[in-house]
Amino acid sequence: MKKILVLCTGNSCRSQMAEAYLRFYAKNKAVIYSAGIETHGLNPKAVECMMEDGIDISRHTSNNVNEFIGIPFDLILTVCDHANENCPYFPSNAKRLHQSFPDPAKASGSDEEIKVKFREVRDQIRIYCKDFVNENL
């Protein structure tokens, strides 16, 4: 069974969404982890927009990438440019893939405008994860 790490800056939004969608689409074909270069805590708006799509991430935790250094990953997927540029070395033959998504936590405007941005990014991540599983697992 493949081991996949999804990595972003703070493990609060994008990597959390990707972890959930990859688990959903991969079923039992892979073990999915997510982490950040830093930990910013789980973003409540990420939890809310994922619930709108029927996926509960409220029990996810924000993890630092160093917690997983000893795991022999098969794939490391970075979902933001900062994580791609600052991803630590993993002593494995993990294949690294990169797909940058906008950071919805940086959205500004009214509460509704921010929610729209979270939904847009969520939908981009959902499509990417479905395709990722079909192509890689």
Pick the closest to residue 79 from 102, 105, 106, 100 (CA basis).
100
Which positions are catalytic? 8, 80, 87
